[in-house]
Structure 1
Amino acid sequence: MAIDCAHSVEGSGPALFLIHGIGARRATFAGLVEGLKDRFTCISYDLRGHGESPLPDGRFGLDDLVDDLEALRSRLGIDRAHFAGHSLGGMIGPAYARRHPDRVLSLGLWSTAAFRTQDDSAKVKAVVAAMREKGIGQVLDTLTARWFTDAFAAAHPEVIERRKRQVMDTPPDVFLNVFDIYAETEMAPWLHEVTAPCQVLTGENDGGCNPRLNRLIADALPKSELVILDDLKHAIFIEATDRVLPHVRDFLVRQAG
């Protein structure tokens, strides 16, 4: 059953749906929206159980998150749109495009993962297992060290604390559920079915969504462009929207003709 997710609509022009990641909020994309709303109608939303969106009734999977996105598109009366997501959002977008190819003008796969080796999968599943065993709060410092560069974390401790608070304000069952989806989703068997023009983008030092995996993602997609951002880790939109925006804007403007 699809959930009526809280959302924001800003700007004018072709529609662009922005899909955030684990334990985040639509506010992740505030800076990006500011840089795109002159050309695009930017629709950002809180995933089920996150931010202002309703709590789900029990466990859910990737298909349910796709259902939520389709329900939002339908409710807004938008026929076709650009879709882009960060991290888990970069899995929801392609899964949506696979199911609703006629709705998708282009796709952004930002800081996401596919083609994980057994070792890659074991590492991410170990993080989830550690959170279940020790509690989410006990593992948060490990996560934020993977998300932000050391220099940014040292210069902006208040931003790190705010991101941690977002995680802790997400109901634990929901946070672990979406982390399970992120850990267990493997797009490799079907990515080649996604025929929309795609932008594949990640940080050079993103441990879990690294350039090695993103090159494989880009190679698997029939129409793709790959961008590797020097020095950055995972939290590219919190740490460096100013560096991401030119690449995203250029790609979207070209797709919009």
Structure 2
Amino acid sequence: MEKIIHRADTRGYANHGWLKSFHTFSFANYYEPERIHFGALRVLNDDFIKGGMGFGAHPHDNMEIVTIMLDGSMAHQDNAGHQKVIQQHDVQIMSAGTGIVHSEFNASKTEDANLLQIWVFPNERNVTPRYDQQTFDPALRENALQVVVSPERTEGKLWLHQNAWFSLGKFDAGKNFELNAKANGVGSYLFLISGEINIAGDTLQSRDAIGLSDYDKVNIEVVKPAEFLLIDVPMLN
């Protein structure tokens, strides 16, 4: 087993007043050569956005972009004509492909919003840009892993151009469960949203993360009630 620990207080940080952003991997003005990516996982930003504020129109290409709302709501608009509001328990996927221009603004004028934005390298370049989002019942992740994004192109499900899976879990204190590797060459990156867990000999607390590769299975002990995001991605050379 190979593992890497990313503690919450070692992340990059940018404070723009209206935006406070924590970067797990190198992003914008934060550059750390040892933290460029974990396999196909390129970006994991933890963004806090003040009411009425947001990101003006900006372009992306050849990246799979997943947004998970933790609190509040964001209004999305893009040059393909999509106008949506993404709310708590919603997950959004954009395949930027040949190029997409979009904006994201806090849908509330007064309440702050918190979201995770994740970028994954695609396994196919220059695809037709695509947008989708879905609401997931949080009850289905109680003491279980709820898959919210996968490679399977099933109607009514969120998918992306990569052999990758995104799962959300919410576990009670005292629970023990086994995490199994998806496949050979696929690693697991666990980002602890809140709580405390023991995994692979290490203790993780809120906003800590661990990357595991070359493993078959590992036990997770929930010390304090925990919510987390699990991202399974191919390990790139």
How high is the TM-score relative to the length of structure 2? 0.29
Larger strand fraction of residues: 2
Larger helix fraction of residues: 1
